[in-house]
């Protein structure tokens, strides 16, 4: 009987911090997530025909109705062996006004076009100006016919149309469909943290597309789970994949998106993004040269204040924008929340993703959560 796949906390895995009601990026009010998942075909790879194990993820910072109204944002490259389009303009202005798309490495172009096509069809007023979509990627070529043109602009549009709030599906969905993580089946995952701030309460949340790490690096709740699993099974493949494969252990990438409703300046969003790799490190990675680990962080507060519009007349006495923000000296609790949310989001990927076989019968085994529970129970029980 197949092992049930549940979120990490449902397996008794301990984490620091207090999650929001969904323990997801959608705990930040207004944020919506949508997927297009593509799974078809089996057997030998025939480029253009499959097998297909891929997809598209859309993250809408303030929902479909607010596309075009900018929020504060910042980006960070922990290791820049990857792609995130639109980040030059995002860095220049500190603003984000379109959906964030995540897909496979060779599908960045179709998703970029798909965002433009969606805006042309649904917001022709915005299409009169320039559009610089943010599309990020990780490489799923171990399981997927990545060189086949399977992801189309229509799939990107469908992911935007499918975006909703509430609970977020995890594991083998959307852009994470064909990904690996620590030598086990990877994918999409999310988590959130509540941050009290005087009389107010804010949320910091993470979404990850996890496709990184060597199996022997994996740590959960501080326990070297990957090494212990290999020690217990002399036949275990520490690479975590089988078949004819040249990529070194740890190759892959991770895209992390951080969202918060705390009022932050663009520079503070960048600082928040810089903390995401600390959450990745808690799960064991040391940051492979062959892993493109890119982070985008945004704040939904002050929405619209950073929107760029063409001037139609000379400025008046009222032509100013204002930003309310958390003082720099009080950001530590938000940094801590970001680290905690990223860590849990990665572990949620591993506990929810199911085993999957793809091109050339390459197989990605799911994390054996029953064995992990036993290891954690023994190790943490002694502490």
Question: What residues are labeled active site?
Answer: 253, 291, 293
Coil, strand or helix: which one is 302? coil
Which token pair is 230? 């290999």
- Residue linked to tokens 């911090």: 17
Q: Please tell me whether the peptide bond between 51 and the residue prior to it is cis, using omega within 30 degrees of 0.
A: yes
Q: Which residues contact 99 (CB under 8 A, 6 or more apart)?
A: 58, 59, 60, 61, 67, 115, 118, 133, 134, 160, 163
CA distance 264 to 341: 18
- CA-to-CA distance for 146 and 106, rounded, in angstroms? 6
Q: Of 217, 299, 253, 227, which Cα lies nearest the Cα of 142?
A: 253
Q: How far apart are CA 218 and CA 45, in angstroms?
A: 30
User: How close are the terminal C-alpha atoms of the chain, in Å?
Assistant: 33
Residue-by-residue DSSP string for 275-293: HHHHHHHHTT----TTEEE
Which one, of 139, 113, 115, 89, lies nearest residue 255 by Cα? 139
Q: How many Cα atoms occupy the beta-carbon half-sphere of 254 within 13 Å?
A: 37
Contact between 206 and 256 under an 8 Å Cβ cutoff? The reply is yes
Among 255, 261, 348, smallest CA distance to 23 is for 348
The SS3 of residue 351 is helix
Question: What does residue 381 show for φ and ψ, rounded to 5 degrees?
Answer: -65, -25
Distance between CA atoms of 253 and 216, rounded to whole angstroms? 17
Other C-beta atoms lying within 10 Å of the C-beta of residue 310: 6
Helix runs in 192-312, H state only: 225-232, 266-282
Say how many C-beta atoms besides its own lie within 10 A of residue 360's C-beta: 17
Would you state the structure tokens that stand for residue 310, as one six-digit string? 């063409």
């Amino acid at each position: 009987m197949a092992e049930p796949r549940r979120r990490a906390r449902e397996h008794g895995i301990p984490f620091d911090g207090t999650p929001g009601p969904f323990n997801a990026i959608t705990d930040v009010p207004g944020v919506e997530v949508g997927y297009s998942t593509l799974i078809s075909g089996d057997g030998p790879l025939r480029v253009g025909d499959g097998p297909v194990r891929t997809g598209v993820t859309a993250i809408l910072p303030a929902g479909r109705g607010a596309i075009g109204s900018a929020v504060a944002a910042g980006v960070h490259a922990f290791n820049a062996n990857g792609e995130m389009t639109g980040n030059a303009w995002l860095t220049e202005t500190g603003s984000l006004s379109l959906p964030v798309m995540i897909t496979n490495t060779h599908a960045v172009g179709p998703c970029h076009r798909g965002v433009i096509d969606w805006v042309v069809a649904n917001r022709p007023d915005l299409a009169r100006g320039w559009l610089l979509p943010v599309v990020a990627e990780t490489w799923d070529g171990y399981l997927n016919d990545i060189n086949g043109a399977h992801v189309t602009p229509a799939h990107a549009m469908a992911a935007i149309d499918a975006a909703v709030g509430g609970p977020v599906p995890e594991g083998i969905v959307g852009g994470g469909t064909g990904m690996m993580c620590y030598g086990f089946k990877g994918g999409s995952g999310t988590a959130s943290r509540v941050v009290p701030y005087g009389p107010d309460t804010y949320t910091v949340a993470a979404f990850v597309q996890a496709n990184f790490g060597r199996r022997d690096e994996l740590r959960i709740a501080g326990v070297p789970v990957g090494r212990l699993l290999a020690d217990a099974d002399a036949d275990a493949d520490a690479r975590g994949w089988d078949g004819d494969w040249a990529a070194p252990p740890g190759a892959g990438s991770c895209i992390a998106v951080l969202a918060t409703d705390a009022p932050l300046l663009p520079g503070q969003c960048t600082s928040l993004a810089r903390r995401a790799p600390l959450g990745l490190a808690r799960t064991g990675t040391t940051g492979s040269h062959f892993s493109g680990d890119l982070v985008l962080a945004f704040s939904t507060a002050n929405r619209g204040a950073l929107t760029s519009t063409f001037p139609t007349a000379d400025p008046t006495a009222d032509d100013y924008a204002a930003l309310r923000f958390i003082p720099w000296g009080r950001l530590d609790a938000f940094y801590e929340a970001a680290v905690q949310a990223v860590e849990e989001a990665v572990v949620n990927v591993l506990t929810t993703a199911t085993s999957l076989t793809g091109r050339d019968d390459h197989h990605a085994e799911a994390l054996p959560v029953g064995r992990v529970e036993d290891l954690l129970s023994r190790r943490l029980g002694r502490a």
